[in-house]
Structure 1
Amino acid sequence: MTGRPAPSVLPPSLRPSLGPVAVLAALVVVALGVLYSGHSAPGAVDSWIRPPTADSVRAPWRQVALALDFLGEPVGSAMVIAAGVVVCLVLRRPRAAALVVAGAGVTVGATTVLKHVVGRTIHGPGNLSYPSGHTAFATALAVMAALFATDRLGLGRRAGTSLVLAAGVVAGAIMGWAEVGLGAHYPTDALGGWCTALAVIPATAWLVDRIADRMPEPGRRDRH
């Protein structure tokens, strides 16, 4: 007896819209990477947006920024990922749980590789800054949550795409504010991190679906 197929983590209705978004985001990541390759100073846009001081956030908002920053650190991110996996499993969405792990891992891996390739630094040699891994991680989590909500709520293409992009913008803006305010990144680093997540998550979700679709479903028996 064959059960119902598991829901896709990348809803089919969103593929025509999120595909071009991912491609455009990847192009922005590459363009900014080429523009700031090997740089160790803010660009014109950074100087216009970012205050001259390294730590421009003051109490009580500094504590908020530090808390957000912690969520992007190894311990904090591990806690967030574990919580996401537990929620997905409780709601019986193992494919979504797999996306949480894979999406976070690929996003962090992509930003790490890009940092070494681009070689942009802040506050001295060795402090690689482009793209912002914290911003990418926060955006990735928000986008994955929005994809899950789109499926659960049965949203159509327009509403689902709007939810995914809105969630990504809000999460990226909040974490970007924290990282720039704490002096850890330039604004264009945050933009690069945001675009990295928008490029990586739809592609990773599509890959998770492809792999899961080829695996035998639990409880399925071959007919002979």
Structure 2
Amino acid sequence: MPGRPAPAALPPAPRAWIGLIAALAALVVVVLGFLYAGHSEPGTVDAWIHEAVYGVRPPWRRVALATDFLGEPAGAAVVVAAVVAGCLLLRSPRTAVLVVAGAGVTVVTTTLLKHLVGRTINGGYLSYPSGHTAFLTALALALALLATGRLGLGRTAGTLLVLAAALVAGAVMGWAQVALGAHYPTDVLGGWCTALALVPATAWLVDRTADRRADRTTNAVQRQTH
């Protein structure tokens, strides 16, 4: 007989609200992309925040560099491997798939958007949206969705947990990116919203694919027993 189904990557209770948030986040990504397409200078809000945050000194600079490393290829690979291993130990294979797929889709999308929007910083480096911020936010979202399902949280509590996790991850990495001068604050916001838009959609696809495979397995077993 088929085993017990794996926990959903996108828990049912907060699904509608998270879907709405994802749609709004996608809209923000598009609007900011149009506003800053081809720009090479900070906007008014960018300049104000940049002045307050940029140029941190030790020990905070070391903290910013360590945080930035989590979004670099080597650091990201280690983090993803550790999180996937944890998900498998918790018997949450769908979340393990979401971690890899969600982070991958998010990073690829930010890379494509950078070339499409063409905003630059520091003499020609593509900056919008921030891939580092999107990556860490994507991981936080996947883990928050896992916690929501395991704790059995309802629509409101689950949505708040997911948003809080995304906000903390985005704020930490976003601070590091602005402090190091790698991105404008609006680049950080664009990266954060990119993850908010893509991870729930990816989670839904993971669940849909896994459910279809489980249904096919169940039907095959039923045919064999009759």
TM-score, normalised by the number of residues in structure 1: 0.95
Deviation at 1:49, TM superposition (A): 1.1
Deviation at 1:41, TM superposition (A): 0.5
Distance 1:152 1:56 in 2: 41
* Aligned position for 2:70: 71
5 Å-filtered alignment, 1:1-224, equals: 1-51=1-51, 56-125=55-124, 127-216=125-214, 221-223=221-223, 224=226
Per mean C-alpha deviation after superposition, the further-off stretch among 158-167 and 5-14 is 5-14
Deviation at 1:113, TM superposition (A): 0.6
Deviation at 1:3, TM superposition (A): 2.7
Deviation at 1:52, TM superposition (A): 8.2
- Is the 2:6–2:91 Cα contact (8 Å) retained in structure 1? no
**Identity across matched positions, percent:** 69
The structure carrying a bigger helix percent of its residues is 2
Distance 1:159 1:91 in 2: 22
Deviation at 1:217, TM superposition (A): 7.1
Q: Which runs of 5+ in 1 are unaligned?
A: none
Deviations 1:7-34 (A, max 9, x none): 2110111111011100000000000000
Deviation at 1:6, TM superposition (A): 1.9
Deviations 1:163-198 (A, max 9, x none): 000010111011100000000000000000010000
TM-score, normalised by the number of residues in structure 2: 0.94
Q: Please state whether the residue corresponding to 1:51 is helix, strand or coil.
A: helix
Give the number of aligned pairs. Answer: 222
Distance 1:189 1:145 in 2: 24
Q: Which runs of 5+ in 2 are unaligned?
A: none
